[in-house]
Amino acid sequence: MKTRALIAALIVIILLLLMIVVLSSALLLSTGNPPEGEASGVHGVAYPVMSMLEGILAGAADLIDAIAGQIARLSGRL
């Protein structure tokens, strides 16, 4: 039961992040005049979001690797 709640919470967090990206993209497209050196529109949002998602995925991969190592270590003792 706890794993279902955890999975549901993760899905809600991911959906909220996607909604934030869509709203910020719409705001950037509506302004039209970004500061110097910054890209306008969705293109300006894509790079920060992609780098954030890459960091999240790398952290999740490290966590899964650590959990798999713990399971392997514990199953070897039993």
Kindly report the pTM of this predicted structure.
0.44
Q: Which of 49, 51, 60, 63 is nearest to 17 (CA)?
A: 49
Q: Are 58 and 42 in contact (CB under 8 A)?
A: no
Q: Are 29 and 40 in contact (CB under 8 A)?
A: yes
Residues 6+ apart with CB under 8 A from 2: none
Residue type, 9: A
Asked whether residue 30 carries a pLDDT value surpassing 70, the answer given is no
Mean pLDDT of the chain: 77
Average pLDDT over residues 26-51: 64
Using pLDDT thresholds of 50, 70 and 90, give the confidence band for residue 41. low
